[in-house]
Amino acid sequence: MPPATPSSIVSTNPISALLTIINSSTTELQSLHAQNGSQIPSLDAYYKPSLLEGDPRVVELTKLVVAAANQLIATVRAPRDTFWEYVPGMYLSAALGFVVEVDVAEILNEAPNKSLHAKDIAFAANCDASHIARVLRYLATRHIFREVTPDVFANNKLSSALIKTNGKTVKELKAKPLEKYENSGNAAFVGHLVGEGLKSSSAMIDFLKNSRKGANSPFNMAWGTNKSLWDWYAEPKEEWRFGRFVAAMQFVAETYKDSIFQNAYNWASLKSTDVIVDVGGNMGSVSLAIAKMFPETRFVIQDLPPVIEEAKPFWKAHFPEAIANGRVKLEAHDFFLTQPIKGAAIYFCRFIIQDWPDADCIKIMKRLREAASPTSKLILFEIGIPYACADPTRYDADVERRSAPYPLIPNLGKGGGSNPTNVDMTMLNLLNGQGRSIGQFVELGNATGWKLASAKNDELSIFTFSAAA
């Protein structure tokens, strides 16, 4: 949806216009917090989720502030200084991965006064004190942790969000390393992206220069393996990494409310004989959300055999009657093979297409088209990649357009386009997959016998296709 312009008076001077967006948006944010009996949390305080954090207007205003502030910095700062910030970005990734791995946020949280000298942190983490001080000062300079007095550090709003949410003590985290990242929130996400992504990205330049020569991905080049990331995770020595990846994806999934999927389609319009196929559905959490709200819906949840085995206790715990009465069926299936459910009312995939290059996506979508009836729909839940410019294309579909108040770029830059483009680069780096723009989804549909009917284009985008004649 187009963001609301924060002021009816728009300056034609870019800097003045950016300041207007920042001032008016932060003023409204403060007002909304005041109405809720709260205030925007201090950067020096521990992070606590706010009741307003998911409020649509608060989210939109926050995007505008971040977009305008970053565009203002890019405007007034010398290009040299911007490059000097961006180019050493690998150190930020490495520093974050390090503090998560050695539990620095937890060590500080368990300190009697919530702060410690670098020497004491180093003792608890079994690391060099000088290294600890330098890394934490580097992060504190970027507002992650606080340097309270020289060489004495404490958590702040950002670093406290790295405390693993599984509630384990530092002693427990060290005693059971394979369980370290279970239900650990941000820590699992940081650990996974740094752990697998940082090393893989070191091969990205060579991959991009030589991608036409058949290399699988930067991950394959950097780690010296021909296996896909998924097969590599299955190796016994990588068991702990796979556990961390699962925890990271569970954390990411929690950020998308059930209402996104429940409102994605008019599920109530389906007949009791209609079938919805959740393709590559993992545990079936999306189907669960829809099934609980719409009691007439019927589902087949498909994934590889080991995943389906794990899904059985999940459904037994969360909705056993749906399995018992046959409303929900769990089926082992590889989505590259012939789709066994013919003529389903809806086939849907969540975060599947982004994992694969075009050739594989075409195979997946063709298998579904071969099984579809003329009235079948295909719904793809994906991170749609927004253009960094206005899109003049006339689509033969109901497409939500992105826009932004002057002089912001249409995808809001770091305010709105940062996460989607990060996802896109991560897919490229680890899987040679791809986040896709609206135009690219149209092309995939054209190549597979599906016609794009609508696109709700937000950070989690919903692409609905009809079977093409």
In this structure, the chain runs to a length of: 469
> What CATH number is given for 258-403+434-467 in this structure?
3.40.50.150
The string of pLDDT tens digits covering residues 424-444 is 999 999 999 999 999 999 999
Is 172's pLDDT higher than 70? yes
Stretch(es) of the chain classified as CATH 3.40.50.150: 258-403+434-467
List residues bridging with 330 in a β-sheet: 301
Residue with the bigger pLDDT between 211 and 332: it is: 332
Residue 149 pLDDT level (bands cut at 50, 70, 90): very high
When pLDDT is averaged across residues 155-169 and rounded to a whole number, the result is: 97
Q: Which residue has the tokens 């911007």?
A: 82
When pLDDT is averaged across residues 145-159 and rounded to a whole number, the result is: 98
Looking at domain 88-163, which CATH architecture does it have?
Answer: Orthogonal Bundle (1.10)
Please state which of the ranges 20-24, 206-210, 298-302 shows the lowest mean pLDDT.
206-210
Please state, in angstroms and rounded to a whole number, the distance separating the CA atoms of residues 240 and 22.
43
Is 382's pLDDT higher than 60? yes
Pick from 270, 306, 305, 311: nearest CA to 291: 270
Please state, in angstroms and rounded to a whole number, the distance separating the CA atoms of residues 355 and 452.
20
Stretch(es) of the chain classified as CATH 1.10.10.10: 88-163
The string of pLDDT tens digits covering residues 323-378 is 999 999 999 999 999 999 999 999 999 999 999 999 999 999 999 999 999 999 99
Contact (Cβ atoms closer than 8 angstroms) between residue 461 and residue 437: no
pLDDT of residue 415: 94
Contact (Cβ atoms closer than 8 angstroms) between residue 4 and residue 413: no
Please state which of the ranges 149-163, 205-219, 370-384 shows the lowest mean pLDDT.
205-219
In the 8-state DSSP scheme, what is residue 382?
E
Please state, in angstroms and rounded to a whole number, the distance separating the CA atoms of residues 45 and 155.
8
Contact (Cβ atoms closer than 8 angstroms) between residue 207 and residue 218: yes
When pLDDT is averaged across residues 143-167 and rounded to a whole number, the result is: 98
Contact (Cβ atoms closer than 8 angstroms) between residue 284 and residue 315: yes
The two beta strands, 115-117 and 152-154, are antiparallel
Please state which of the ranges 8-22, 81-95, 280-294, 335-349 shows the lowest mean pLDDT.
8-22
In 318-459, DSSP assigns E strands to: 328-332, 346-350, 377-382, 398-399, 450-456
Is 137's pLDDT higher than 50? yes
Q: What are phi and psi of 179, to 5 degrees?
A: -105, 5
When pLDDT is averaged across residues 202-208 and rounded to a whole number, the result is: 95
pLDDT of residue 459: 67
Count Cβ atoms within 10 A of the Cβ of residue 166 and give its class: 0-12 exposed, 13-18 middle, 19 or more buried: middle
pLDDT of residue 214: 67
When pLDDT is averaged across residues 166-187 and rounded to a whole number, the result is: 95
Please state, in angstroms and rounded to a whole number, the distance separating the CA atoms of residues 74 and 77.
6
When pLDDT is averaged across residues 267-272 and rounded to a whole number, the result is: 96
pLDDT of residue 300: 98
Q: Which residue has the tokens 């594989």?
A: 360
Is 4's pLDDT higher than 70? no
The string of pLDDT tens digits covering residues 242-264 is 999 989 998 998 889 999 999 99
Cα 81-82-88 angle, rounded to 5 deg: 95
Tally Cβ neighbours within 10 Å of residue 3: 22
pLDDT of residue 2: 45
Is 392's pLDDT higher than 90? yes
Q: Which residue has the tokens 């986040």?
A: 435
Tally Cβ neighbours within 10 Å of residue 204: 17
Residue 1 pLDDT level (bands cut at 50, 70, 90): very low
Contact (Cβ atoms closer than 8 angstroms) between residue 301 and residue 332: no
Please state, in angstroms and rounded to a whole number, the distance separating the CA atoms of residues 241 and 230.
11
The string of pLDDT tens digits covering residues 42-67 is 999 999 988 898 899 999 999 999 99
Full strand arrangement of the beta sheet holding 398-399? 328-332, 299-303, 276-279, 346-350, 377-382, 461-467, 450-456, 398-399
The string of pLDDT tens digits covering residues 73-112 is 999 999 999 999 999 999 999 999 999 999 999 999 999 9
Mean per-residue pLDDT of the chain: 94
When pLDDT is averaged across residues 222-232 and rounded to a whole number, the result is: 95
